[in-house]
């Protein structure tokens, strides 16, 4: 929060804590809170995605610290899906490779965020054992007017399907976008059309209610 009371956008403060190194501590605390949430709501949760910064992956002990946190909470590591942005390929030095390999061997899963915007998007499909990809919102936001974006979304869906990956379009904000994406074949979506960010306690309540409904 700024001095004038306005809220600092996430992209702004994340960039700052990446530059000053605080992202290491913040990232571990985020994972710790995610693990606590899973423990408290275990029967209602299949998995939780956790964003990971390239700066974190360049930290030599990052994987060991993550593994310690997950193990301390006695959580199935398959419930943790680590989201990397596409620029991780540019950052792919030996430390990054070692961290990713340790996390994969431990059982965590990997997702590429903002897929389709980098120069080497397709390289990930052979270099990393991905669980899913999240398609960049820029393609969705230009629908339905931009036919080229629709063709790109069709191509990404077909590529993901051939690699047996879940493909999740980001930034779905209206029924028309959902209709077009569904016609292409997408079955998983993310965006304000389905719900805006809410406090964690409210989300836990929703999970509990849905769990009761499913059991009944």
Q: Where are the domains of the chain?
A: 10-215
Nearest to 71 by CA among 47, 95, 103, 30: 103
pTM listed for this prediction: 0.85
**What letters, b where the CB count within 10 A reaches 16 and e where it falls short, cover 141-173?**
ebbeeeeebbebbbebbebbeeeebebbbbbbe
User: What does the pLDDT look like over 146-163, one tens digit per residue?
Assistant: 999 999 999 999 999 999
**Two structure tokens written together for 209:** 């209610």
Instruction: Label residue 87 by pLDDT band (50, 70, 90).
Output: confident
Domain 10-215 fold: TIM Barrel (3.20.20)
């Amino acid at each position: 929060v700024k001095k004038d009371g306005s809220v600092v956008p996430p992209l702004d403060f994340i960039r700052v804590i990446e530059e000053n190194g605080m992202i290491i501590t913040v990232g571990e605390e985020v994972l710790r809170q995610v693990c606590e949430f899973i423990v408290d709501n275990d029967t209602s949760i299949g998995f939780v995605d956790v964003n990971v910064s390239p700066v974190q992956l360049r930290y030599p002990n990052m994987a060991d610290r993550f593994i310690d946190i997950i193990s301390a909470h006695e959580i199935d590591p398959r419930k943790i899906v680590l989201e990397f942005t596409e620029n991780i390929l540019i950052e792919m030095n030996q430390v990054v490779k070692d961290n990713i390999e340790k996390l994969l061997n431990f059982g965590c899963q990997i997702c590429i965020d903002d897929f389709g915007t980098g120069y080497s998007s397709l390289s990930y499909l052979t270099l990393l054992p991905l669980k899913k990809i999240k398609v960049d919102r820029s393609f969705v936001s230009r629908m339905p007017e931009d036919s080229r974006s629709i063709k790109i979304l069709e191509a990404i869906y077909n590529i993901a399907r051939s690699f047996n990956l879940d493909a999740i379009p980001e930034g779905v904000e209206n029924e028309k976008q959902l209709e077009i994406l569904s016609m292409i074949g997408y079955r998983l979506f993310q965006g304000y059309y389905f719900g805006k960010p809410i406090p964690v306690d409210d989300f836990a309540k929703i999970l509990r209610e849905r769990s009761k409904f499913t059991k009944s």
